[in-house]
Amino acid sequence: MMTKYLLFMVLYGSANSYFVVDAGYRTCDMFPVVLNTWAFTEATEKAWETVYLRNKSAVDAIEAGCTTCEKLQCDGTVGYGGSPDESGETTLDAMIMDGETMNMGAVGALRRVKSAISVARHVMDYTDHSMLVGDQATRFALSMGFKEESLQTETSHAIWKTWKDNCCQPNFWVNVSPDPKTSCGPYKPNPKKHAFERTKQKSVFSEKNHDTIGMVAIDFKGRIAAGTSTNGARHKIPGRVGDSPIPGAGAYADGNVGAAAATGDGDVMMRFLPSLLAVEEMRKGESPGAAGEYALRRIAAYYPDFVGGIVVLRKDGEYGAACHGLSTFPFSVCTQGSNKATVHNVTCMR
């Protein structure tokens, strides 16, 4: 079945004078740029302050921006006190990638430590590993001086209790008994069902349950970086790790080309590495907007109901975005001419 996709109009020009074209948002000269998913303007402006006013690196900007969202609990999808899993616990995923060195650090299912993006930065800076997960990631964080504390709040507990009182709906179980559409389990594999019989369920992701801040940035030296932070899918099965900390899925940066960061239905999106796909399309000469659209088009060919968005930044400062399954997708930008973030909205493909 052929799916129809809608391209979006874009801006082009200097920070003080733009005109409409169909290629991407672009700054005229090499200059710092900060770009992130959703209208998380406080995070954008903190990253901008770091990379522009303080003349820090793109990696520093990513850490500062994502940390801001962790503290503000952006939309309840980033940081502590949001997206409880089936047991009521909030766990965190994050990654940071340096496009200059192609080094990265990530944490998955991080427990009882709030500063997920900074722990990921410590994995990158102080180990030869790329990712640590679960309680072992927590132990690493504590050894690096991070504080151990509960990530549960009254709000997250209330979300979890409401879900339990609603027969644990929705959830992420399939091909099990008792019926996960009417029961909280415990579940056992159903030998009468097979993977090919699986019924596709409507995505639980939306504008307010979208899983992640994804951020990309360029600094004054032209170095590019990318990162993510999230508390994952609400009511996930404990131990679940989504796309956010996976390089090429949640985010990707290549100093020779550019960077991208994705958000949305992570269990689907991680199977296609959309951030890597977008960067590789730019390597072939595509504009950031077209590269992002291509990456999402690849997913929609298999999962036409998936929900997600992507922001894409080329090494020369041109940027764009694409989305699928929502009405619109807001993303935030800071660049030359203003210390305030601008929110753009892209009309999504369906």
112-160 pLDDT tens trace:
999 999 999 999 999 999 999 999 999 999 999 999 999 999 999 999 9
φ and ψ at 192, to 5 degrees? -85, -10
**pLDDT value of position 13:** 32
**pLDDT value of position 7:** 34
Average pLDDT taken over every residue of the chain: 89
Domains of the chain: 28-150+204-347 (3.60.20.30), 154-197 (no CATH)
Question: 339: pLDDT confidence band, cut at 50, 70 and 90?
Answer: confident
**pLDDT value of position 36:** 98
26-58 pLDDT tens trace:
444 568 999 999 999 999 999 999 999 999 999
Closest CA to 313 of 36, 11, 6, 21: 36
**pLDDT value of position 23:** 36
Residues 6+ apart with CB under 8 A from 6: 347, 348, 349
Q: Is 228 a catalytic residue?
A: no
The residue-averaged pLDDT of 3-28 equals 35
Q: What is the rounded CA–CA span in Å between residue 135 and residue 152?
A: 16
pLDDT higher than threshold 80 for residue 193: no
Residue 278 and residue 334 in contact, taking contact as beta carbons nearer than 8 Å: no
The residue-averaged pLDDT of 264-275 equals 96
Catalytic residue chosen out of the listed positions 212, 228, 263, 335: 212
